[in-house]
């Protein structure tokens, strides 16, 4: 959405990672597509979704083709809004506040019920440490695997500084520490899931609405430094990594554009396995905004 496009992260297990890869980041990565329209996203996901033998994860069966959900009324939804970062000392930019205000106003005009609410567990201070442990361990493993593929050891001259830094951190953890991080993520994901409407929580929320980033798209090079850049990434990415870990479907839409013509994304998150609800709501918003008709200015 920061490029004016539609991006849907499917439910964990919806799209196979195999056969070359069996798992990545302990289930926190997903294959998907980036498209100009919600219709294209739905059609392509229909084409690539489906289980394969040996898959480590499985997603709930969808009620039907996602392409058939485009243009279908989502009904009046109960939507919680998180309009501020949960990391202490981090503030949302003015552009992001404008974007979320616009999204809330549009959703209300479309007949949805909006409340200031989000899963309490989303702000758990342990999340970053556990997520970093898992990522770093997998980066170290990836470099070792590439070394075996190439027949030589991967060194710091072969990869970017940040990847080497993560690999070094990953090799510092013990196997029990890695498992501690995974088990913490699983317990935390269960706490997160209680906020959404399901058979055990009929009064829960249908959708969570947040910014995609905490600021407009950064300039090239702003994230390059391995240490300072990592802190900046953490500051601007306050709303998305949580749903890599829970495995829930989330879609980012370019609902708002800054005065300088930069698209700013809004994220919508549904309960585990509910891509069809995201497609319905995203299609409704697309019809109201027609963002794919907008083209950013190009300097001469």
Q: Which is more confidently placed, 224 or 31?
A: 31
Which of the following CATH numbers is that of domain 6-119+203-293: 3.10.150.10, 3.40.800.20, 3.40.50.12370, 3.90.1300.10? Answer: 3.90.1300.10
> Rounded CA gap, 237 and 128, in Å?
11
Range with the poorest average pLDDT among 20-29, 45-54, 190-199, 288-297: 288-297
Residue 270 pairs with which residues in a beta bridge? 207
Nearest one of 128, 127, 153, 126 to 140, comparing CA atoms: 153
| Segment 70-95, tens digit of pLDDT | 999 999 999 999 999 888 778 888 88
What DSSP assignment string belongs to 58-88? -PPPPSS-GGGGTT----S-EEEE--S--ST
Per mean pLDDT, which range of 40-44, 190-194, 263-267, 290-294 is the poorest?
290-294
Give the pLDDT of residue 100.
Answer: 95
The mean pLDDT value of the chain amounts to 93
| Residue ranges per structural domain of the chain | 6-119+203-293, 123-193
The 3-class secondary structure across 125-141, one letter per residue, is CCHHHHHHHHHHHHHHH
Residues 90-102 have pLDDT tens digits of: 888 888 899 999 9
């Amino acid at each position: 959405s920061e490029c004016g496009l539609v991006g849907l992260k499917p439910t964990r297990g919806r799209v196979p990672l195999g056969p070359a890869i069996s798992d990545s980041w302990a289930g926190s990565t997903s294959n998907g597509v980036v498209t100009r329209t919600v219709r294209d996203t739905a059609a392509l996901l229909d084409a690539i979704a489906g289980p394969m033998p040996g898959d480590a994860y499985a997603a709930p069966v969808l009620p039907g083709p996602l392409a058939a959900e485009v243009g279908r009324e989502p009904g009046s939804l109960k939507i919680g809004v998180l309009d501020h970062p949960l990391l202490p000392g981090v503030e949302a930019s003015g552009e992001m506040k404008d974007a979320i205000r616009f999204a809330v106003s549009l959703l209300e005009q479309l007949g949805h019920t909006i409340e200031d609410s989000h899963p309490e567990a989303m702000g758990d201070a342990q999340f970053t440490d556990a997520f970093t442990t898992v990522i770093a361990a997998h980066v170290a493993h990836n470099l070792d695997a590439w070394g075996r593929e190439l027949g030589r050891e991967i060194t710091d001259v072969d990869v970017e500084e940040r990847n080497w830094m993560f690999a070094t951190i990953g090799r510092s953890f013990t196997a029990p520490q890695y498992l501690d991080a995974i088990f913490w993520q699983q317990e935390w994901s269960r706490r997160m899931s209680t906020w959404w409407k399901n058979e055990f929580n009929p009064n829960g929320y249908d959708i969570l609405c947040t910014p995609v980033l905490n600021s407009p798209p950064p300039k090239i090079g702003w994230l390059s430094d391995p240490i300072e850049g990592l802190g900046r990434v953490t500051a601007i990415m306050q709303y998305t990594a949580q749903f890599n870990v829970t495995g829930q479907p989330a879609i980012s839409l370019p609902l708002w554009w800054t005065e300088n013509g930069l698209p700013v994304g809004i994220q919508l998150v549904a309960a585990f396995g509910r891509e069809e609800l995201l497609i319905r709501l995203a299609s409704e918003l697309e019809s109201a905004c027609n963002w794919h008709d907008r083209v950013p200015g190009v300097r001469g």
